[in-house]
Structure 1
Amino acid sequence: MRVARASATAQVVNGKIYVLGGCKDRRSADWGEVFDPKTQTWAALTVSEPMPDEEDPDTRPRMSLIHGSVVIEDKIYVIDFWNRTFFYSLSQCKWGRGSPARLESHSLNRRGWCVVDNVLYSVGNDGCIHWCEPHELDRCAGLGINWTELLCHPMKQLQNKLLRSRVAHYGGKMARVWEKTTRNFTKCLEDILPGAKLASSGHNVVVFWKELLPEKSVRIWCAEYSFISSKWGLIYGVLECSNAILTLDPILDRSKVLYSISVDV
């Protein structure tokens, strides 16, 4: 790769792999790069015009803090730590500004963004899975993204499991860690928000989370959900399956699911 990156996000579009974030953001030319499997070469992300250099830091992404991305039509949206969205337009070869962050508490930070059947999903550190229309990612949608919580009894059960997953690495000492990280902004905060991984799998969503066992080992769980839309515009989650897929004994240092991908076999 052209630029050293850590915890970058990647998407496949038209057979090419676009890698974004995980780097210092001094030059917009370094914000992303693209790999062509046919030629086995990396290239800089083509930028026809740089984003305006305004004083307001809310006008450009912090590429060192990008934690997710989704592809909608010809745009690759990136999401930063504060749930602000920016996009790279493949057709226009330039960066643009999406929705700003809503004035929400830290308990509503969200991760694991994915698109299924033209609906956007994410999981929050409150243990809930939320959805919204993709157009909410654009600036014209107003002040922030209007998320709606998925409904049904299995989702409430999953919420409790995802909440407990957050403290798996800290032995129940969540309050002390949270107090420390909110006073001093550190990367430790990233590890406790929200403690689960969300990914698309065909027309469904797959959720990964971890469970701390009494014998101080960690078990990784996976659940798959399908969705039903109601005539009132609400979406209900339907549990298709839920299984423990891996046990780590002894606990590896701050182990967690980093990436997941759906493949046809």
Structure 2
Amino acid sequence: MLVERSRPAANVVDGKIYVAGGVNNFNSSNWMEVFDPKTQTWEFVLCPLSKRCSSYISKNAVIEGRIFYMCVNKCVVYKPEEDRWEAIEGFTNLNFGWTWLSYCVIDKVLCSFRDLVGMKWYCTRRQSWMNMKGLIGLPKFDSYSCAHMADYDGKLAVFWTNGYGYKEKTIWCAVIAIEKRNGGEDIWGTVEWLDPLLTVPKSFRFECVVAATV
């Protein structure tokens, strides 16, 4: 990369890798850079909203071709196709829901999980978090549940543990197919697979879940 970065945010849009944050002394010219695999070159991306940004990016995701960055309590959006930046003012509903434990994007839909609240998805038109419908067969999560989500070939993979207060925990996994209904106004989840996977020590905790193709 063109500058040294520590724990930046990286996202892929139209085959290019956009890397942002992770620079202590950043400005509008070096906060973001992009890598083009075809030319094998890095280039800086000018960010006119750098005063709203920070070195540490707590959340980031690509939704409908736009990259969303949550910097502390402020959110900025970049649309590479138009080279256009947008500021989401205030502590919006997006920011509030995004502070939950786990999230991922499935078929351009931002999904999130929180204990007791369950599965949510973000409606960009309403700018509000909505309940995911369906999910028949998915167990109710306890207040101590720590679930993590990942995009598994276009489906939602959810991992969580149970066994709180016991000597051991069990890792569970569910694979959920996501379907848009009512013109995209509703999101339904169909549980296609659900099973315990592994018994682990009580001290076990999730750091992240990543789907990889080998």
TM-score, length-normalised on structure 2?
Answer: 0.73
> C-alpha distance in 2, partners of 1:11/1:116?
14
Please name the residue that 1:164 is paired with.
Answer: 144
Matched, 1:66 2:58: yes
* Residues 223, 242 of structure 1: 8 Å contact kept: yes
Give the deviation of 1:239 after TM superposition: 1.0
Please name the residue that 1:19 is paired with.
Answer: 19
* Residues 108, 125 of structure 1: 8 Å contact kept: no
Q: Percent identity?
A: 25
2:111 maps to which of 121, 125, 131:
121
Amino acid at match of 2:144: R
Please name the residue that 2:70 is paired with.
Answer: 79
Residues 1-265 of structure 1 aligned to structure 2 (within 5 Å): 1=1, 2-6=3-7, 8-24=8-24, 26-38=26-38, 43-47=42-46, 50-51=48-49, 53=51, 60-73=52-65, 75-82=66-73, 84-98=74-88, 100-102=90-92, 109-135=99-125, 145-152=127-134, 154=136, 157-158=139-140, 160-161=141-142, 163-165=143-145, 195-212=146-163, 216-231=167-182, 233-249=185-201, 251=203, 255-261=205-211, 263=213
Bigger proportion of residues as helix: 1
> C-alpha distance in 1, partners of 2:107/2:96?
29
- Aligned pair count reads 212
* Residues 121, 132 of structure 1: 8 Å contact kept: yes
SS in 1 for 2:56: helix
- Segments of 5+ residues of structure 2 without an aligned counterpart are none
Amino acid at match of 1:201: Y
Amino acid at match of 1:50: P
Change (3 A) 1:203 1:4: closer
Stretches (4+) displaced over 6 A: 103-108
Bigger proportion of residues as strand: 2
